[in-house]
Amino acid sequence: MPADAQTRPTTTKERPVFAMKLSIPAGTFRAYLFDCDGTIVDSMPLHYIAWKQALAEWNCPFPEELFYAWGGRPVRDIIASLNEQHGLAMPVDAVAHRKEGLYHEQLPQLQAIEEVVEHIDAQHGRIPLAVVSGSRRSSVIGSLSALSLLDKFQTLVCAEDYTHGKPAPDCFLLAAERLGIPATECLVFEDTDMGIEAATAAGMASVRVPQPHERRPGTVATASA
């Protein structure tokens, strides 16, 4: 269990199965790095509900298309950008705290993305695993704890740990450094274009996990060497 982790629930939530397959690139990888939201946990719809509720208190629009386009960006960066777009002065820390609280209220509804969890379970104890997220540590720990997955990972790299968010490669490079594995020997699992760009910039191969609206029978998650 990561040193900064909290005690996780002892109950195991039933996991649904999505009709998609993951295509893993050829090669031998010594570490797997996973984004959290939308990759390990099917949390993006819940995050969007929380965003809509928090921003409605400030009459700030946030179209769903833009929410998914900005997937992977730190919460505070999103609020700052929305302030700039709409000429608002929302208090960044307060709105971020409100949004995270609204998300945590929905954790009992959270489900895992089974095809990704299969790879976590298969590699746990064989190679080091890390979570690399644009969310803050409290959110990541809450999501992973809700699904009894927290102890699968050697380290969590969260929004507090780096300055330049995805598509900059900093977060993935930090994870590789913590694990002691060269970047070229890490495989990244991501659901957003910005995340894939960050992995590529770090010199890492990647697997793109389809977003909720893309998951349907026959969907194949694409791999990039």
Mean pLDDT of 75-99: 97
3 is a domain residue:
no
Q: How many domains does the chain have?
A: 2
- Same domain, yes or no: 39 and 49: no
Q: Determine the pLDDT at residue 23.
A: 85
Active site residue 193: no
Token representation of residue 150: 């927290």
Query: What long-range pairs does 63-70 form, CB within 8 A, spacing at least 24?
Result: 68/44, 68/192, 68/211, 69/193, 70/194
Tell me: do 152 and 49 sit in the same domain: no
Q: Are residues 85 and 163 in the same domain?
A: no
pLDDT above 70: percentage of residues in the chain = 85
Domain identity same for 65 and 167: no
pLDDT of 212: 72
107, 126, 145 — which closes off a domain?
107
Whether 203 maps to a domain, the answer reads yes
Q: Are 97 and 170 in a shared domain?
A: no
Domain containing 102 — which CATH number?
1.10.150
Find the mean pLDDT for residues 28-37.
Answer: 97
CA-to-CA distance for 119 and 60, rounded, in angstroms? 39
Q: Rounded to the nearest 5°, which phi and psi values hold at 44?
A: -60, -45
Tell me: the pLDDT tens digits for 108-144? 999 999 999 999 999 999 999 999 999 999 999 999 9
4, 35, 93, 151: which is the annotated catalytic residue? 35
Share in percent of the chain as helix, strand, coil (round to 5): 45, 15, 45
User: How far is Cα of residue 201 from the mean position of the Cα atoms in its chain?
Assistant: 18
Same domain for 75 and 38: no
Residues 73 and 117 in one domain: no
- Determine the pLDDT at residue 167: 94
Q: Which residue type occupies 159?
A: A
186 and 216 housed in the same domain? yes
Residue 52 lies in a domain: yes
Q: What is the mean pLDDT of residues 136-155?
A: 96
Task: Give yes or no for residue 6 having a pLDDT over 80.
Answer: no
Note the pLDDT of residue 220. 44
Burial bucket for residue 144 (CB in 10 Å: 0-12, 13-18, 19+): buried
Give the pLDDT confidence score for residue 73 in this predicted structure. 87
Asked if residue 72 is part of any domain, the answer here is: yes
Q: What is the chain's mean pLDDT, rounded?
A: 88
Structural domain boundaries enclosing 185: 20-43+110-224
Q: What pLDDT does 21 receive?
A: 76
Q: Angle, nearest 10°, between helix axes 92-104 and 137-146?
A: 0
Say yes or no to pLDDT of 76 above 50: yes
**6 part of a folded domain:** no
In this structure, the answer to whether residues 151 and 75 fall within a common structural domain is no
* Same domain flag for 133 and 211: yes
Q: What angle do CA 117, 112, 173 make, to 5 degrees?
A: 60
Sequential DSSP letters for 99-152: HHHHHHTTGGG--B-HHHHHHHHHHTTTS-EEEE-SS-HHHHHHHHHHTT-GGG
Q: Are residues 134 and 220 in the same domain?
A: yes
Spatial separation of the C-alpha atoms in residues 33 and 94, rounded to whole Å: 30
3-state DSSP call for residue 58? coil
Residue 213 confidence (pLDDT) above 90: no
pLDDT tens, position by position, 34-69: 999 999 999 999 999 999 999 999 999 999 999 988
Distance between CA atoms of residues 33 and 15, nearest Å? 21
- Read off the pLDDT of each residue in 186-190 and give the average, rounded to a whole number: 98
User: Could you give the percent of the chain with pLDDT greater than 90?
Assistant: 80
In a domain, 10, yes or no: no
Question: Considering the domain boundaries, does residue 2 fall inside one?
Answer: no
Mean pLDDT (whole number) for 161-183: 97
Does residue 8 sit within a domain?
Answer: no
